[in-house]
Amino acid sequence: MVSWIAACGVDDVDPEDVIPFEHDGRDYAIYRSPDDEYYATDGHCTHEKTLLCDGLVMGTVIECPKHNGRFDYVSGKALGAPVLEDVRTYPVKVVDGTVLIDTDTDIDTSTGVG
């Protein structure tokens, strides 16, 4: 079942940046790509659970602030040590200037489909 949750306004996230979002006791990271597309992942690095929203965004890559592990935030793929486990991604849509994420559906990183 799809459960769309309002995460932020489109202008709350600068291009090529990330912001935190908390819902129902869980942390998420909301990204805006250089092409003005929006994405969402779990809020914590899979290596040592550091908040990804404190990391550096470069293109479609988020770098964890603790040990510089990197993920492709579009696919969730871990891009090398020290992160070995992919980060969970979530479907996102924009409606009337609001970024919505589906917190009940994760995207299969092998197919890109929720």
3-state secondary structure 70-97: EEECCCCCECECCECCCCCEECEEEECC
Query: For the segment 18-66, what is each residue's pLDDT rounded down to a tens digit?
Result: 999 999 999 999 999 999 999 999 999 999 889 999 999 999 999 999 8
Q: How far apart, in whole angstroms, are the C-alpha atoms of residue 82 and residue 71?
A: 11
pTM: 0.89
Q: Where are the domains positioned within the chain?
A: 4-102
Q: Return the pLDDT at 111.
A: 46
In the predicted model, is pLDDT for residue 110 greater than 60?
no
Strands laid side by side in the 98-102 sheet: 4-9, 98-102, 92-95
Cis peptide before 65 (omega within 30 of 0): no
**What is the CATH architecture assignment of 4-102?**
3-layer Sandwich (2.102)
